[in-house]
Structure 1
Amino acid sequence: MEINIIAVGKLKEKYLQDGIDEYIKRLSKFAKVNIIEIQDEKLKENISFKEIEKIKQIEGNKILSHIKSKDYIISLALNGKTLDSVEFSETLSKIMIDGYSSITFIIGASLGLSQDVLDKSDLKLSFSKFTFPHQLMRLILIEQIYRAFKIINNETYHK
């Protein structure tokens, strides 16, 4: 299984990178993990709705250029479906049973994802009604992927 995480913006905090590296190491017995960073667009003060949509489109085009047609696409979105950890593991298991060998997760920048990216997604997933910094969301996502694989393989960790 291959897990791709496409994330807009650069991860700068060492403590977050250390946590992500630890979970990638733990996940290595279940899946190959690739993290693809997309350059975020610079925001100016008092940005208009039209400018927001333009920036989301530019970032969205960069994201879409990294998606392979055979991937199962899961976009993180505030208005997406919410799952608990067991439901998330069941979802990943079903995706694998359905024959997908690659799952791509997409984390947008602070403005969110373009409609084109959302339309391309097989699943829109929300982790919470809270808003998280996109850098922190990488760590939360990868920990939940690890937890899901532990559940799928009937290994202790998730309780």
Structure 2
Amino acid sequence: MKITIVAVGGVRDNDLKKRIQQYSRRLSVYCRIQLIEVREEKTREVQGLSEQGRNLEGARILSHIGDGDYVIALANEGHIWSPRMLSNELDRLVMEGRSQITLVMGGEHGLSAEVLERANAQLAICQTAFPHQLLRLVLMERVYRAFQCSLGEPIHRMGKNKNG
């Protein structure tokens, strides 16, 4: 299985970049993983300008999506998927013979209508709002945990010791 994450904008924080790279290496044991960053539009929140920027970003995102890709859009309106639910979804897709999953993340103004229409499913990471760049790390962690669930591996909580 190949998983591609297409995200608007780059990650500027070096610690965050390192953590994303760590999860990318961990995921490479389970699947081929590719991270694609598309250019973010710098638009002000003026009527029409944020939608125009969202549409330009959407066109860039769509240029990286193949006809046979199963597309999951990260959207606030999406269903909240736990790692177990995401694991079940990935298992279902494998059983259907799907080998290319593309996860898309919009910029600060969200995803264009065209990207949402192209998506096969919409995913919300959780009800808590995350800063856009941190969301990429959270997504990588969720996908990693989903593969662990799928293979019956124990999920270790990071930062917990033996006593708690």
Give the alignment's TM-score, normalised by structure 1.
0.94
Which letter does structure 2 place at the counterpart of 1:112? G
Q: How big is each residue's C-alpha offset from its partner over 1:8-57, in whole Å with a ceiling of 9 and x where there is no partner? A: 0111111111111111111111101100000101123xx32311111110
Which letter maps to 1:36?
I
Amino acid at match of 1:139: L
- Offset of 1:158 from its aligned partner? 5.3
Structure 1: which 5+ residue stretches go unaligned?
none
Q: What is the identity percentage for the equivalent residue pairs of Structure 1 and Structure 2? A: 37
The root-mean-square deviation of aligned C-alpha atoms, in Å, is 1.2
User: Partner of 2:104 in structure 1?
Assistant: 106
Match of 2:87 in 1: 89
Asked whether the 8 Å contact 1:147–1:158 carries over to 2, the reply is no
Partner Cα distance (2:70, 2:49) in 1 = 30
Alignment equivalent of 2:121, drawn from 112, 123, 128: 123
Q: Figure out how many residues of one structure are paired with residues of the other and give that number.
A: 157
Residue 50 (structure 1) aligns with: 48
| Correspondence for 1:25 | 25
Counterpart contact for 1:41–1:55, Cα < 8 Å: yes
Aligned to 1:149: 147
1:80 corresponds to: 78
Q: Secondary structure at the match of 2:11?
A: coil
For residues 56 and 12 of structure 1, the distance between their equivalents in structure 2, rounded to whole angstroms, comes to 20
CA distance in 1, matches of 2:126, 2:15: 22
> Whole-Å Cα distance in 2 between the matches of residues 26 and 58 of structure 1?
33
Partner residue in 1 for 2:5 = 5
CA contact (8 A) 1:71 1:102 kept: yes
SS in structure 1 opposite 2:77?
strand
- Secondary structure of 1:144's counterpart equals helix
Residues 151, 158 of structure 1: 8 Å contact kept: no
TM-score calculated relative to the size of structure 2: 0.92
Q: State the alpha-carbon separation in 1 of the partners of residues 49 and 83 from structure 2.
A: 37
The residue that corresponds to 1:37 in the other structure is 37
In the TM superposition, residue 156 of structure 1 has moved relative to its aligned partner by 1.0
For residues 76-123 of structure 1, what are the alpha-carbon distances to aligned partners after superposition, in whole Å with 9 as ceiling and x for unaligned?
000101122211110111111111101000011110000000000000
Partner of 1:67: 65
Question: Could you tell me which residue of structure 1 aligns to residue 162 of structure 2?
Answer: none
Gaps of 5+ in 2: 158-164
